[in-house]
Structure 1
Amino acid sequence: MDKIAEPSEVSLKEIVTKVKKGLTYLISRWKPIVAFGIVGAALGLTYAIIKKPTYKAVCTFVLEDGSKSGGLGQYAGLASLAGIDLGSSGGGGIFKGDNIIELYKSRLMLEKTLLSEVTIAGKKQLLIDRYIEFNQLRKVWKQKDHIDTISFRGATDKFTRSQDSIISTIVEVFNKKLLTVDKLDKKLSIIVVQVESEDELFAQSFNLKLVETVNNFYSVTKTKKSDQNVTVLQRQADSVKAVLNNSINGVASAIDANPNANPQLLILKAPSQRKQVDVQASTAIYAEIVKNLELSKISLRQDVPLIQIIDEPVLPLLKTKVGKLKGIILGGLLGAFLSSTFLLTRKIFDKILS
């Protein structure tokens, strides 16, 4: 039985020899490589001149959830007997972990921010209109779709298909290129929101408005359940208090009706005694509701998350621009590399086909 031939191993000497041959070949073709390098340098210079600078607006803030502490836990069991949910589990719900970061990238938050009206350079305008303006999108729409007069004011639920499509496209651009949201450190609760744009004032305004919009939505949603408990209990307390006041007035009216009732006629005392029973029952109920109301208010205060801005984007923003010298060097190196790769590849194919 014949042995299977093992593939020959390439020695280090052969590799060095092939590399030397390749370098020798490239040196012999230095003229086209230099020519492509010059072309690349020219293109790099052109790019550096034409390319507009970008500005980065960075905002950092610390987030601390209003999770339940042990102090409230001792009351949670008592409150649950009365049908009051104080949320003693302390879970973060939909905002647990890094979900707050994904909230920043959601269409809902970006759309609300884009449709917000801000004052930029003394002029009130929607952020989406500012974005469309400095990107000159209306010129493109006029030539292509004839929708250059489209407006984004009004109720979002009445937007047309074209309006929704434009917003979706802009949101996608933000998530892919312009918006970065991350934690400063995985062990810390410091979140960094960065917006990059060719318009410095837009980058600053959008960053500030996005942080405000998301953090307000976060706080309202986080405390919604506790707020509903407080509202229900407050309504019950007001209702029972009204009944209690009526019962107290009823006792007084019953006594006034028979101020000097004959002790022998007990039936004359029955109306006032019935009203007194109503007063005692209403007082007990009112006291219990007020106690649960105060516990729910404590729960609501503890649910409110602490959001403290550390750094806001201030003008002038961090500017990023490709310098002319950098463009020339990078363009020249890229042109020389691509031409060298092309020449070596063509030589290898010629050798294989020969």
Structure 2
Amino acid sequence: MDKPETTEPDELSLKDVLLKYKLVVKYLKTKILIIAVFGVLGGALGLTYAFIKKPVYTATCTFVLDEGKAGGGLSQVAGLASLAGIDLGGATGGGGVFQGDNIMELYKSRNMIEKVLLSEITVNNNKQLLIDRYIKVLGLRRKWKQDDIDTINFQGASGSFSRKQDSIITDIAKTINKKVLKISKPDKKLTIIEVDISFVDEIFAKEFNDKLVTTVNDFYIKTKTKKTLTNVNILQRQADSVKNVLNNSLGGVASSIDAIPNANPLQTILKVPSQRKQIDVQASSAIYAEIVKNLELSKITLRQEAPLIQVIDNPVLPLVVTKIGKIAAAIIGLFLGAFLTSLVLATKKLFGN
């Protein structure tokens, strides 16, 4: 029985490729007018885009972050203090709520962005919320008319906002994170952090950058030192309370002595009231001394733990602006239109019927 014939696909040789190339080039030469027309059309579209496209303003703030050292030089003091029954709180600890690059993620949190959006700015002697300026610049209220939410406002406390208001803020925060906000470290070996806000409105970009940096950095410092600061406040109240007791005890001793100025030495019972008051004074003095010691050590710990955030450069007007040139846009559109037209015609010639 004869074996079935097998057909192998024809392999394109270099000669065939060159022939097809010449054929396509020759064909495109006959369509040069069409290519030119679509090239000019592409150039016109590019020029139109350059006129329509709004320039983007970028506000940049750079600051250096020096993390507070929870242990540092106090580690040995804290160890000795613990033997004496003194608790220095975070002095012996090595970690904190935020470490390293976590502050960069804090900048992207919805809570921080919401606080900034709901903050008030003054433009041309008129006060307005940043979120209202954002909505006005992008013309969002026109888009919201079909949903009957074009009259919504964001006055008042955020805790009393409706579900729709919270939803809008969440959407805006996501958009800002994705398209407006950029947090970076120019050099990973350094502790310099750069915050960029890029937006089509120059005032919004600058004000949002200023308020975001202030809001996040203040929150970071307060949270970083919250535990030790609470300990300091407690010790301060205890010190004030014991001091009042000590002052009252000293007054009691003086009153007891004054009550019997010339007491009979043989009647020792007369000395008991003043001796009791003196014991109270001695006990209160010892307690007060220990509390004051703990208080001062806790204050040192607080200063050690407090991170240092020093702004290097603040955004200043006029901001850096990014926009596409009209000539460049027209040239890019021209070449893009001609290229795409040529590609379509060549594909049709090679694979068309």
Matched, 1:120 2:123: yes
Say which SS state the counterpart of residue 90 (structure 2) adopts: coil
1:144-164 residue CA offsets vs partner (Å, 9 max, x unmatched): 122222111111111011111
Pairing 1:106–2:109 present: yes
Letter in 2 for 1:229: N
Q: Alpha-carbon deviations, 1:275-301, whole Å to 9, x = none?
A: 211111111110011011011111111
In the alignment, the residues of structure 2 paired with residue 10 and residue 302 of structure 1 have an alpha-carbon distance, to the nearest angstrom, of 75
Structure 1 pair 70–147 and aligned structure 2 pair: CA distance change class (3 A): closer
Alpha-carbon deviation of 1:209?
0.9
1:245 pairs with 244, 247, 251, which one?
Answer: 247
Q: Residue 5 of structure 2 aligns with which residue?
A: none
CA contact (8 A) 2:24 2:349 kept: no
Task: Give distance in 2, aligned partners of 1:268 and 1:250.
Answer: 15
- The one of 35, 39, 53 equivalent to 2:41 is 39
SS at match of 2:88: coil
- Which of these residues, 176, 193, 196, is aligned with residue 194 of structure 1? 196
Q: Structure 1: how far apart are the matches of 2:147 and 2:283?
A: 72
- Which of 289, 300, 323 is the equivalent residue of 1:298? 300
Pair 1:83 & 2:82 matched: no
Calculate the aligned-residue CA RMSD, in Å.
2.4
Determine the structure 2 residue equivalent to 1:223.
225
- Aligned residues of 2:197 and 2:209 also touching (Cα < 8 A): yes
Residues matched between the structures, number? 345
1:288 corresponds to which of 290, 297, 302:
290
Partner of 2:3: none
Structure 1 residues 46, 59: closer, same or farther in 2, change over 3 A? same
Shift of 1:254: 1.9
Hey, what's the Cα distance between the residues in 2 that align with 1:306 and 1:23? 67
What is the CA deviation profile of residues 181-206 of structure 1, one whole-angstrom value per residue up to 9, with x for unaligned ones? 11121111111111111111111111
Distance 1:275 1:8, change over 3 A: farther
Q: 1:62 aligns to what? A: 64
Work out the CA distance in 1 between the residues paired with 2:219 and 2:320.
29
Stretches of structure 2 that go unaligned for 5 or more consecutive residues are 1-7
Distance 1:240 1:78, change over 3 A: farther
Aligned-residue offset at 1:16:
6.2
For 2:182, give the aligned amino acid.
T
Is contact 1:61-1:308 (8 Å) kept?
yes
Which secondary structure does the structure 2 equivalent of 1:86 belong to? Answer: helix
- Whether the 8 Å contact between 2:39 and 2:337 is mirrored in structure 1 is yes
Confirm or deny: 8 A CA contact 1:79 1:85 kept in the other structure. no
**Kindly tell me: are residues 251 and 37 of structure 1, through their superposed partners in 2, closer, same or farther at Cα, counting changes over 3 Å?**
same
Alpha carbons of structure 1 residues 29 and 238: separation in structure 2 relative to 1, 3 Å: same
Aligned equivalents of 1:231 and 1:255: distance in 2?
37
Deviation at 1:27, TM superposition (A): 4.2
* Cα pair 1:79 1:86 within 8 Å, conserved: no
2:42 counterpart letter in structure 1:
G
Q: Counterpart in 2 of 1:325?
A: 327
Q: Is the counterpart of residue 336 in structure 1 residue 338 in structure 2?
A: yes
- CA distance in structure 2 between the partners assigned to 1:76 and 1:136 by the alignment: 59
SS in 1 for 2:89: coil
State the shift of 1:323 in Å.
1.2
Deviates more, 1:71-80 or 1:197-206: 71-80
Q: Per-residue displacement from partner, 1:1-35 (whole Å, max 9, x unpaired)?
A: xxxxx999987777666655555554454333333
Assess, with a 3 A threshold, how the Cα gap between structure 1 residues 83 and 304 changes in structure 2: closer, same or farther: closer
Structure 2 Cα separation of the partners of residues 141 and 278 of structure 1: 73
CA distance in 2, matches of 1:292, 1:254: 33
Identity %: 61
User: CA separation in 2, counterparts of 1:210 and 1:39?
Assistant: 44
